[in-house]
Structure 1
Amino acid sequence: MGRRSERLSKQGMLASDLAGEGDVIQVVSRAFDVLRCFEGHEARLGNLEISSRCGLPRSTVSRLTHTLTRMGQLVYLPRDQKYRIGPSAVAMSTSMMKGLQLRNLIRLRLQDVADQLPGTVGFVIPDRYHLVYLEFARAANALGLHEGTGSRISMTSTAAGFAYTAALDMDVGDALIAEMEREIPGDAALLKARIEDNRHHLREHGYVLGCGTWSPHINGCAVPVWSPQYQTFVVVTIGLLAAMFDENRLHQEVAPQMIELGAAIGGLLEGAEGDIFANRIERKPLPVPVRNNNKIIKTEDTNELEAGARRARPARSVRARDGRR
């Protein structure tokens, strides 16, 4: 792998951009900014609306939408004088769904927790200053939080965002916050004020809480998990009604289940590249974590750890100190 590729894969996003190295092709970055404006297949936006959403000059947006339309990424609607997501973008996203079996297994894991806790359990992936739900599950009696697949949540005010940024290498996390301060200063302040506490709590306990930061009525708990496929941290998270689950109850009742969920999802992600297309991934019982020197390991790994083996384990903990915090 080349040096630039190593930099880009350090935390699964444009680390070189965040570090100020300036080797990002701006026109490509702006084209993706335009596509991000379309939340949902039915979204219809004009150049002025796109310009307002992504903060680019209207003339720049006009050139980008013209090019993206020629490429099939957008479709122009003459009657509305607006654009919507095009067939090429849909086809590209569909090709990314080949891991549907894995996602189904992840959804089952999420549902295992949702059946025990009256909240919304999610599996999210980072997208610039937000996180996007790839999968979710909730109990029939879930109250308060109703996010769904494709929903975007803030990285600066949610338990999932706190967990993701706390898991990043310190230099990468600090560079990301610095970028946020330039782009979204108001939102970045909350994250910056608590990043050190989040990092400390994640190292010590393996999870992060967010109580009333996104909404005064919602408390959350989240666990970051390293994804070999995406070369970044993904996050398993749960949102619960604050009136039912205060901070103490999150620590005592919710966090242990989320840590187990994170270990299970980590095991699925570790085995996905070799097994997902061969239909050999099985749904196994949630692992029971064993604590050893403040680490969470899977019981089947105990002998290997005692022997000092260094090879990759089925489920990574952010406390395993494997170079990714």
Structure 2
Amino acid sequence: MKGIKVVIDRQFAINLSRGLEVLRAFNPADQLLGNKELCERTSLPKATVSRLTYTLEKLGYLLKVDRLQKYRLGPGVLMLGYPMLAGLEIRHLARPHMEQLATKTKWTVNLGMLGRLEVVYIDALRLDRRNFLKPDIGSSRPLLTTSIGRALLLASSEKDQNAILNRIKIAYPTQYRKDVHHFNRDKAFYEKNSYCLSLGDWESNVCAVSVPLRVGSSDDPTIALNCTLSGSKLSQQEIHQSIIPHLFEAKHNIEKDSGRIFISRKY
């Protein structure tokens, strides 16, 4: 079209991205999907989806359920993620401090890092038995409406922060307009209190507080720690008095232990 410059990224492997979109179409609520459903979720042509599911099955990333003519994720997906999880030293280092935090607060405690446009949990300790959301390793949460998402954004450089916000705005314009005020409000709150707070921003009956962790080197991914409680309405003052001291204590201990490990590894 005249006057419009089309930018083509020649390094971008379209077929690979389509295969990954097929894998991302599965979730805990929809563990069995057929080619028709995958077409609807990925907006890919039927013939393309058919070739991709065939290939992914042959490679072990999908398992076919012949009786239903549908697919489920295969063990190859788990094998693909294991080296990444095993290489995150922060998970092993933070675990005892997460356990102490959960024991003291009786809240669910999680570690999360930035995904594409979401938070991805890399560890979860669920002591809050009322937590119907069932956080687990690999589960995701939105960035703008969760305290852990906002903590990760606020721990990023201004350049990265703006780039992520812009990608969310382009990918989900309606949701962005609806949710961005949560981020702007919590940004001011974080500058004053050094933690992020959500009182039902994402789920109406879930309270959450989060802090970013300053661990590792600048090359390591940004990590955040949170506490969440379901089904209980606590005031901001109650949370500040009864939960935040324990959250800051865990943050301090994790960062202290991380510094020791990083120094010993470096020298």
TM-score range, shorter chain: 0.7 to 0.9
The residue number in structure 2 matching 1:210 is: 198
Cα distance per residue 1:271-307 (max 9 Å; x no partner) = 567879xxxxxxxxxxxxxxxxxxxxxxxxxxxxxxx
The residue number in structure 1 matching 2:145 is: 157
- For residues 1-325 of structure 1, what are the structure 2 equivalents within 5 Å? 22=9, 24-39=12-27, 43-98=31-86, 103-139=91-127, 142-150=129-137, 151-226=139-214, 228=216, 231-241=220-230, 243-270=232-259
CA distance in 2 between partners of 1:206 and 1:107 (Å): 22
CA contact (8 A) 1:107 1:136 kept: no
CA contact (8 A) 1:227 1:269 kept: yes
The residue number in structure 2 matching 1:305 is: none
CA contact (8 A) 2:144 2:183 kept: no
Q: More deviation in 211-220 or 141-150?
A: 141-150
Q: Secondary structure at the match of 1:38?
A: coil
Unaligned runs of 5+ in 2: 1-6
Q: Secondary structure at the match of 1:29?
A: helix
Q: Secondary structure at the match of 1:153?
A: strand
- Deviation, 1:223, is 0.9
User: Normalising by structure 2, what TM-score?
Assistant: 0.78
Cα distance per residue 1:167-212 (max 9 Å; x no partner) = 2222322222222223223332244223334334334432111111
CA distance in 1 between partners of 2:231 and 2:252 (Å): 25
* RMSD of aligned alpha carbons: 3.3
Give the percent of matched residue pairs that are identical in Structure 1 and Structure 2: 24
- Deviation, 1:269, is 4.7
- Deviation, 1:236, is 0.8
**Residues 194, 271 of structure 1: CA spacing in aligned structure 2 closer, same or farther, 3 A cutoff?**
same
- Deviation, 1:121, is 1.1
- Deviation, 1:157, is 1.5
Q: Secondary structure at the match of 2:23?
A: helix
The count of aligned residue pairs is 257
Cα distance per residue 1:8-48 (max 9 Å; x no partner) = xxxxxxxxxxxx995543433333222222335x9222222
CA contact (8 A) 2:126 2:135 kept: no
State the AA in 2 paired with 1:187: Q
Q: Secondary structure at the match of 1:266?
A: helix
- Deviation, 1:105, is 4.5
CA distance in 1 between partners of 2:35 and 2:185 (Å): 42
CA contact (8 A) 1:118 1:143 kept: no
CA contact (8 A) 2:144 2:182 kept: no
Unaligned runs of 5+ in 1: 1-19, 277-311, 313-325
Q: Secondary structure at the match of 2:222?
A: strand
User: Normalising by structure 1, what TM-score?
Assistant: 0.66
State the AA in 2 paired with 1:115: T
CA contact (8 A) 1:145 1:239 kept: no
